[in-house]
Amino acid sequence: MKSHHRSAEEWRSIVDSQKGQGQSDAEYARAQGVGIASLRSWRAKFKNQESAGAGAKIVEVGTFGSSGRMGVILPNGIRLEVTAGWPMDHLGRVVDLLRSL
């Protein structure tokens, strides 16, 4: 099978399109021109992403103008609060780390 680099969006479309097709993974992968291992890998990746994000919520502990704090509460009950000026990309990394605990 000829190698073709696909974006995550393309894989999302391929994975989502299989639902309700009634084809085996092998049949569907062949029809789409993708490897069965790649199809299964991307399906698992999307499923893990969806379950990791389920239930997490951003909560406002106060506004940056008054208390200067914001927070996130994870499904396992871990609560993280940060102050104004804290880099939001760092918050994302910390949340990913806490989810893995």
pLDDT exceeds 70 at position 63: no
In a domain, 2, yes or no: no
What would the DSSP string read from start to end of 61-83?
SS-TTTT-EEEEE-TTS-EEEEE
Whole-number pLDDT of residue 17? 92
In a domain, 1, yes or no: no
Helix (H, G, I), strand (E, B) or coil at 82: strand
Whole-number pLDDT of residue 57? 57
Whole-number pLDDT of residue 92? 72
∠77-41-49 over CA atoms, to 5°? 20
pLDDT exceeds 80 at position 77: no
Q: Which residue has the higher pLDDT, 69 or 24?
A: 24
pLDDT exceeds 80 at position 55: no
36/62 same-domain check: no
65/85 same-domain check: yes
In a domain, 19, yes or no: yes
87/72 same-domain check: yes
Structural domain harbouring 74: 57-99
Among 22-31, 58-67, 72-81, which is the least confidently predicted range? 58-67
Residues in the chain: 101
What are φ and ψ of residue 29, in 5° steps?
-60, -45
Mean of pLDDT values over 27-36: 94
Number of domains present in the structure of the chain: 2
